[in-house]
């Protein structure tokens, strides 16, 4: 039996790292064999591409180059980590995936969604996440949290309007695919958010095993 593919999404500062740890603990307590990874990144080569995407450059990285780099990293990640794990029956927990590309490069950058879809089909074939948690938060609050973490990367330095478009794109995705995507209000306390994450995840696990 193939493993299940879980992803977690959201704008900067929504608390993905905290909730990823909670998800890992739940999967472990349920005896589910899994690998945790992230995008862009997840392999030696993909992590080098991640650095190109997030580092500050004197030369402007054009929108199309950014999109192609994202999918280049994803192709490597799929080939080296995600597909082998799923084929072996191992679950995959990924910090962001292609929903982030639609949200950031499509919604935020304004790139054509059809172009993203073509690259998605080329890179992934029919592979899509089985379950996605979208942590939702006002971008102004999220950016304030991100600034408190330390120096901002190239993407995090975008203006608030950019992240409002990203957030709107995530919510559009959740409306189109309500069975796969579960939205959690990340403006509340850590415990309240964790309770919702746990409930959604446990429901998915029960339906999948």
CATH number for 88? 3.40.50.300
Could you tell me where the DSSP H helices lie in the chain?
16-29, 44-54, 63-77, 83-87, 98-101, 113-124, 139-149, 160-176, 190-208
pLDDT band of 146, cuts 50, 70, 90: confident
Q: For the residues 138-166, what does the mean pLDDT come to? A: 87
> In the prediction, which pLDDT does 209 show?
82
* pLDDT, tens only, 169-192: 999 999 999 999 999 999 999 999
> In the prediction, which pLDDT does 163 show?
95
> In the prediction, which pLDDT does 151 show?
79
Residue 40: is its pLDDT beyond 80?
A: yes
Residue 159 burial (C-beta neighbours within 10 Å; 0-12, 13-18, 19+):
exposed
Q: State residue 148 phi and psi, 5-degree precision.
A: -70, -15
Q: In this structure, are residues 18 and 190 in contact, taking their beta carbons and an 8 Å threshold?
A: yes
User: In 10 A of CB 176, how many CB atoms?
Assistant: 9
> In the prediction, which pLDDT does 149 show?
76
Please give the Cα distance from 138 to 100 (Å, whole number).
17
pLDDT band of 168, cuts 50, 70, 90: very high
Q: In this structure, are residues 40 and 74 in contact, taking their beta carbons and an 8 Å threshold?
A: yes
Please count the CA atoms within 13 angstroms of the CA of 126 that sit on its side-chain side: 0
Residue 67: is its pLDDT beyond 80?
A: yes
Question: What is the percent of the chain with per-residue pLDDT over 70, rounded to a whole number?
Answer: 100
Neighbouring residues of 57: CB distance < 8 A, sequence distance ≥ 6: 154
Q: In this structure, are residues 184 and 134 in contact, taking their beta carbons and an 8 Å threshold?
A: yes
Q: For the residues 78-97, what does the mean pLDDT come to? A: 98
Q: By residue range, what is the domain housing residue 78? A: 5-208
Residue 16: is its pLDDT beyond 80?
A: yes
Nearest C-alpha neighbor of 13 from the set 200, 115, 149, 164:
149
Strand 5-9: give its sheet, edge to edge.
34-38, 91-95, 5-9, 131-136, 181-185
> In the prediction, which pLDDT does 145 show?
83
* pLDDT, tens only, 100-122: 999 999 999 999 999 999 999 99
Tally the domains of the chain.
1
Q: For the residues 82-87, what does the mean pLDDT come to? A: 98
Q: In this structure, are residues 139 and 16 in contact, taking their beta carbons and an 8 Å threshold?
A: no
């Amino acid at each position: 039996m193939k493993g299940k593919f879980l992803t977690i999404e959201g704008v900067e500062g929504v608390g993905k790292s905290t909730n990823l740890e909670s998800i890992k603990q739940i999967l472990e307590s349920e005896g589910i064999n899994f690998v945790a990874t992230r995008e862009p990144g997840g392999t030696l080569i993909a992590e080098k591409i991640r650095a190109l995407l997030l580092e500050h450059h004197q030369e402007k990285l054009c929108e199309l180059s950014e999109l192609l780099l994202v999918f280049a990293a994803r192709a490597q990640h799929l080939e080296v980590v995600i597909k082998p794990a799923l084929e072996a029956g191992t679950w995959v927990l990924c910090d962001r995936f292609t929903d982030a590309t639609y949200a950031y490069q499509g919604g935020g950058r304004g790139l054509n969604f059809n172009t993203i879809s073509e690259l998605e089909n080329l890179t992934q074939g029919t592979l899509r996440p089985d379950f996605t948690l979208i942590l939702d938060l006002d971008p102004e609050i999220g950016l304030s949290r991100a600034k408190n973490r330390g120096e901002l990367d190239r993407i995090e330095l975008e203006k608030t309007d950019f992240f409002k478009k990203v957030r709107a794109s995530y919510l559009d995705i959740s409306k189109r695919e309500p069975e796969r995507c579960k939205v959690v209000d990340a403006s509340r306390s850590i415990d309240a958010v964790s309770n919702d994450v746990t409930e959604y995840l446990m429901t998915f696990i029960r339906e999948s095993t």
